[in-house]
Amino acid sequence: MRSVSRHVMLACLATATAVGVLASASACSSSSKTAPGSSAKAGGTYTFWDPYPQFDATSDWAKLVSSCGTQAGVTVKRTSLDTTDLANKALLAGQQGNSPDVMLVDNPVVSTLVEAGILNKTTDLGLDTSAIQPNIIGAGTVDKSAYGIPIGANTLALYYNTDILAKAGVDPASITDWASLTAALQKVKAAGKKGITFSAIGTEEGSFQFLPWFWGAGADLTKLDSAQGDAALSLWKGWVGAGLAPNDVLSNTQTTSWQEFATGQYAFGENGTWQLGNAAKAGFKYGVISIPAQAGGPAPAPTGGEFVTVPVQKDSSRYATSKKIVSCLTNDTNLLATDTTLSYIAPVAAVQTQQVAQNAALKPWVAAVAAAKGRTSNGLGTKYPIISEQLWTAVQGALSGSKSPQAALAAAQQTAASKTG
């Protein structure tokens, strides 16, 4: 979960599919570029879209995509777009009947594309998903059917500054629930350092970061104003009010939150697997622990990551080759290489074991991913973006002081219920 503007795309997609006007999704795009052509399918050329514009043609990822095409006996024409553009243009291409042959999409988008009738079921394609962890495949499952194969998963945990905790007399192993974490933050503040930083911005990133605490209290996204949800939001508000977390969490993205932690002044930073490379460059010793649930144990954190999907084609004979490309991209050998490059945790246990053998620092992340769950799981599908917007609005209202946590969540629930039926 890396895109700052993803909330805009999700809200637009939900609206577009809800009213059945797929073309309207293009108006939500922040780009004026035309949709990449995907009609040049003759002569052994297959089209592939992904949300990785950071990887050019010389990258390992681009070379893997090309080699998987070669192994399937075709040439792959790769187009990279940012997450928002890709999803919007996927909707438009599906409406126009010129979808790419294979497409890599952010996991919350899968259910929206399924509702629009754009994606094929993995079972219809003969793709095997039996080895994939249920909670990871769940992010791309609608009505008990999977519509893609995850390339990998990331999630959230707590990075900690080893030296700050040592000087404050805090053993990270002692942090097992909310009470012990809050006690640790108080000790850190008393020792003259800063407590915890996170992202509570009014976007999908804010919801993404709040969900481990929300779910860790036992709350459910279908009832935002439950006592459990109130407990989670009151926890965050209490930290900000007591100076254990900074006021700027209201405007922090996950990137700026990380930058705060990287100053070396904070004991804890809530962030994702994707920061491992930056953590190694931070200049101080660090560790990672799971985000604790209210009553103890690891809290469920939301899964991030992308799914390899096969869009619906007019010419169904193309699916056999598309299946070969997908199978190549997601076999154990290539998953290991890809997930190492992307700082993802593999979706299958066998590859996770290899990852930890290569890098012991990934062990807590494997545990975090095992406890994670998809944002659109449990039948939420396209209702999730609507609920999420109300959730981050409630977080903003409570932390800014404009509403109490209870009132903010009550308003959020009322609006979400009116919009989702």
What three-state secondary structure class fits 348? strand
**Per-residue pLDDT reduced to its tens digit, 277-319:** 899 999 999 999 999 999 999 999 999 999 999 999 999 999 9
pLDDT at 399 over 50: yes
Both 209 and 99 in a single domain?
Answer: no
State mean pLDDT over 198-222.
96
Both 349 and 263 in a single domain?
Answer: no
Structure token digits, residue 281: 């460059």
**More confident site: 187 or 109:** 187
So what's the pLDDT on residue 5? 37
Both 129 and 189 in a single domain?
Answer: no
Both 135 and 176 in a single domain?
Answer: no
Both 168 and 73 in a single domain?
Answer: no
What is the identity of the amino acid at 404?
S
Beta strands at 141-142 and 149-150: parallel, antiparallel or unpaired: unpaired
In a domain, 364, yes or no: no
Both 147 and 168 in a single domain?
Answer: no
pLDDT at 331 over 50: yes
Task: Find out whether 168 and 190 touch, Cβ atoms under 8 Å.
Answer: yes
**Per-residue pLDDT reduced to its tens digit, 134-178:** 999 999 999 999 999 999 999 999 999 999 999 999 999 999 999
% helix, strand, coil for the chain, step of 5: 50, 15, 35
Both 128 and 212 in a single domain?
Answer: no
So what's the pLDDT on residue 255? 92
Both 141 and 164 in a single domain?
Answer: no
**Per-residue pLDDT reduced to its tens digit, 9-23:** 333 334 333 333 333
Which residue range forms the structural domain that includes residue 103?
Answer: 6-153+304-359
pLDDT at 7 over 60: no
Cα(303)–Cα(374) distance, integer angstroms: 5
**Per-residue pLDDT reduced to its tens digit, 233-252:** 999 999 999 999 999 999 99
State mean pLDDT over 325-348.
94
**Per-residue pLDDT reduced to its tens digit, 92-119:** 999 999 999 999 999 989 999 999 999 9
Structure token digits, residue 145: 């059917």
> What CATH number is attached to the domain comprising 186?
3.40.190.10
So what's the pLDDT on residue 151? 96
So what's the pLDDT on residue 83? 83
pLDDT at 190 over 90: yes
In a domain, 283, yes or no: yes
So what's the pLDDT on residue 315? 95
Both 142 and 27 in a single domain?
Answer: yes
So what's the pLDDT on residue 108? 87
pLDDT at 28 over 90: no
pLDDT band at 1 (very low <50, low <70, confident <90, very high): low
Cα(310)–Cα(365) distance, integer angstroms: 29
pLDDT at 66 over 80: yes
In a domain, 373, yes or no: no
So what's the pLDDT on residue 187? 98
Tell the residue number behind the tokens 């979400």, with chain if given.
Answer: 416
What three-state secondary structure class fits 171? coil
So what's the pLDDT on residue 35? 37
So what's the pLDDT on residue 82? 85
Both 87 and 105 in a single domain?
Answer: yes
pLDDT at 27 over 60: no
So what's the pLDDT on residue 31? 32
- Percent of the chain beyond pLDDT 90? 80
**Per-residue pLDDT reduced to its tens digit, 43-55:** 499 999 999 998 9
State mean pLDDT over 353-374.
91
pLDDT at 78 over 90: yes
Structure token digits, residue 61: 């990822």
User: The whole model's pTM is what?
Assistant: 0.81
Task: Find out whether 203 and 3 touch, Cβ atoms under 8 Å.
Answer: no
State mean pLDDT over 175-184.
98
**More confident site: 379 or 256:** 256
| Domain count across the chain | 2
Task: Find out whether 388 and 302 touch, Cβ atoms under 8 Å.
Answer: no
Both 253 and 388 in a single domain?
Answer: yes
Both 99 and 175 in a single domain?
Answer: no
142 bridge partner residues: 145
- Percent of the chain beyond pLDDT 70? 90
